[in-house]
Chain A
Amino acid sequence: MSKQVPETIKKQKKRSFNSKEVKQEKNEKRMKLLKEIQEKAYKRAEKYEKEYLDQEQKLKELKQKALKEGSFYREPEPKLAFIIRIRGIVGVPPKPRKILQLLRLRRIYSGVFIRLNKSSLRMLHFIDPYVTWGYPDVETVRALIYKRGHARVNHQRKIIDSNEMIYDKLQKYDIVCMEDLVHEIYTVGKNFKHANSFLWAFKLKPPVGGFSTVKKSFVNKGEHGNREQYINTLVKKMI
């Protein structure tokens, strides 16, 4: 029995796109890329920490200055809101139903980030009885994205388990790591749309300690509608 290998198999092996050498090369490239991404992530995280602190500091100073002068400091209006749907899907009229769909709030206790402008505020007005919303701070945004952040990859919901995932999808918008994503969302940057659509709608748990009454607005000792900064405490209970 001669050990003759058929020519077609020889050629196939030579041509193989999955041969050992090719795989090794690919792997090396990938490892190099991952290292670069992690380095970038480190530097950027550092930069953003400083940025957030500076922002806080600046705000304090302006407030103090105004106080000294005897005037008031009006803070800039919030650009970012986090909406949580707190009513189920039964018996929702068509207009709010459509708006909830558009905002990706398709089930109870789902949450999304939204940028606030005249149009979106009008939308929120229509769905007020079905949601609660407010202005999240950095830690809330971080907690949501780190703990409950899922990416929309290939029409599927996949948990973000590495920066590589973010790099693959959002590299062209200069978002390569988690902190980049958090920063883009929190500061509503130029590529907020893409960063936000990369994220699947957050699926939160019912709040620890429960709600008082969803039928009333927050202002009336209920739960729905705008609750400004108190959204942060609610998210902590629901995350």
Chain B
Amino acid sequence: MTTQQLRPIVSVFPIKGKVKTIKQVPLPSVFSAPIRPDVVRFVHTNMAKNNRQAHAVSTTAGEQTSATSWGTGRAVARIPRVKGSGTGRSGQAAFGNMCRGGRMYAPKKVWRKWHRKINTNQKRYAVCSAIAATAVTPLVMSRGHRVNKLPELPLVVSDQLQSLTKTRQAVKFLKFIGAYRDVEKVIRTKKTRVGQGKYRNRRHVLRKGPMVVYARNLGIKKAFRNIPGVETASVYTLNLLKLAPGSQMGRFIIWTESAFKLLEDIYGSWEKPSKFKSGFYLPRPVMVNTDVERIIKSDQVQTVLRNRRPRSRKYGKKIQRADPYEDMSVMVKLNPYYKTKLQKQKELDEKNKKERKEIVDKSRKEYEDWLYFSEEEEEEEEEGSDEDREIEVLSDEN
């Protein structure tokens, strides 16, 4: 994991004086574990069942009668009825879950499965996720903690905190570091519990405030014990139910310096196993780089992609086209030679026409010539006959 090689640095703050970095420590690998709300939810819902106390209904409840059904023919329901007379109870229905004073449906038994087993690795996975989430400011804020005035998140504080003994000192520290706003929220929103828990010794409901995680208890436990909303925990025994109350990740945690450093040993990393949990390595995320958009738009990916296909005309408009034999422009687009062809055809037609005309004219002329020539001949013949005629005329006269 590249993130591990470049472990970011976290500032360590003092517990009084000036809010200034006194030291810097590297961020333990746990904080880079994958944040899996689904795993946390699963483990939390099952873990939360583990501090339940058995309860059940009395085994004899509703059964302490000798009721018998009256049977049919009496114009009453066939439910068992209490025997005897002289009391209001007699003749009343008994035993059934629908009857008044009867036993319930499926009376609760003590041997109900109250606790749940969870795989150890799953439990550890959930805890790693929850710890990682405590460093993510948006998650902590969305859980409802007032963390605006904090110098840094995760908030690491010098080991002197572990030696505090007085609550007054603890409150002073919280105010100094800017965490008291979260405590104020808790105090402000203390309410009577809604529901019957209020008269079952669970009268008040408090919010969750900051959690202080230490490595060694040198008085810190008692110092923070009475501050409403604040919880303390040893770093060796971090409880998921406290890290992600209500399976909501992002508890506001104040770490002491040594506790913070110990996280690297307790939870290990991806290369080194945990020193305290045998064989345990930090869980690996499914995706190392989750910025999918960035990956897709990166040069390495984009240069290997093929070109976007042009929007196909598959469902586009039907191509319209006029009849080429009616629309000349369509015809010319399909056959650019067409106009020339028509022209040539026209010329050819005209040529043929001319030729034919010539032939016709020629033959007509020949015919006329022949006619004329024969007329001439006739005329010549006629002239000859005229002379004869004259003679005849003369002879007639004679």
Chain A residues with a Cβ under 8 A of chain B: 8, 11-12, 15, 17-18, 38-39, 41-42, 45-46, 49, 143, 146-147, 154, 156, 158-163, 177-179
Contact = CB atoms under 8 A, between A and B. Distances in A.
B308 A159 contact: no
Contact of B314 (A17, A39, A156): A156
Given A17-B308, A146-B331, A154-B314, A49 B337 contact: yes
A154 B303 CA distance: 29
B297 A147 contact: no
B341 interface: yes
Contacts of B323: 147
A166 to B, nearest CB: 9
Contacts of B331: 146
B337 A179 contact: yes
B381 interface: no
The A contact surface, by secondary structure, is helix
B302 interface: yes
Contact of B325 (A146, A163, A178, A179): A146
Nearest to A45: B337
Contacts of A8: 293-294, 297
A18 B341 CA distance: 42
A223 B302 CA distance: 64
B324 A146 contact: yes
A199 to B, nearest CB: 14
A41 B293 CA distance: 50
A143 B331 CA distance: 11
B335 A178 contact: yes
B117 interface: no
13 contacts: A18-B308, A42-B337, A42-B340, A45-B336, A45-B337, A45-B341, A46-B340, A146-B331, A146-B335, A154-B312, A156-B314, A179-B335, A179-B337
A25 to B, nearest CB: 14
Contacts of A12: 297, 302
B325 A41 contact: no
B337 A41 contact: yes
Interface of B: 293-294, 297, 299, 302-303, 307-308, 312, 314, 319, 321, 323-325, 330-331, 333-338, 340-341
A208 B336 CA distance: 31
A44 to B, nearest CB: 8
A18 B338 CA distance: 37
B321 A147 contact: no
Given A15-B302, A146-B324, A161-B321, A178 B334 contact: yes
Contacts of B340: 42, 46
A208 B337 CA distance: 31
Contacts of B338: 45
A147 B324 contact: yes
Contacts of B302: 11-12, 15
Nearest to B332: A38
Contacts of A158: 319
A38 B336 CA distance: 7
Given A42-B336, A46-B340, A159 B314 contact: no
Contacts of A18: 308
A159 B321 contact: yes
Contacts of A179: 335, 337
Given A154-B314, A156-B314, A46 B337 contact: yes
A18 to B, nearest CB: 7
Contacts of A38: 336
B364 to A, nearest CB: 28
A11 B299 contact: yes
Chain A CB within 10 Å, residue with most, of B302, B336, B338:
B336
Contacts of A147: 323-325
B335 A45 contact: yes
Contacts of A156: 314
A177 B340 CA distance: 17
Closest 10 CB pairs of A and B: A45-B337, A8-B297, A161-B321, A42-B336, A178-B334, A17-B307, A146-B324, A42-B337, A38-B336, A161-B319
A168 B338 CA distance: 22
A38 B339 CA distance: 13
A179 B335 CA distance: 7
A163 to B, nearest CB: 7
B297 A41 contact: no
Given A11-B297, A15-B302, A143-B325, A49 B336 contact: no
Nearest to B296: A8
Contacts of A163: 333-334
Given A143-B325, A146-B325, A41 B294 contact: no
A41 B335 contact: yes
Contact of B334 (A11, A15, A162): A162
Given A15-B302, A18-B308, A49 B341 contact: yes
Given A8-B294, A17-B307, A146-B334, 4 more contacts: A12-B297, A15-B303, A18-B308, A147-B325
A161 B307 CA distance: 28
Contacts of A161: 319, 321, 330, 333
A38 B321 CA distance: 18
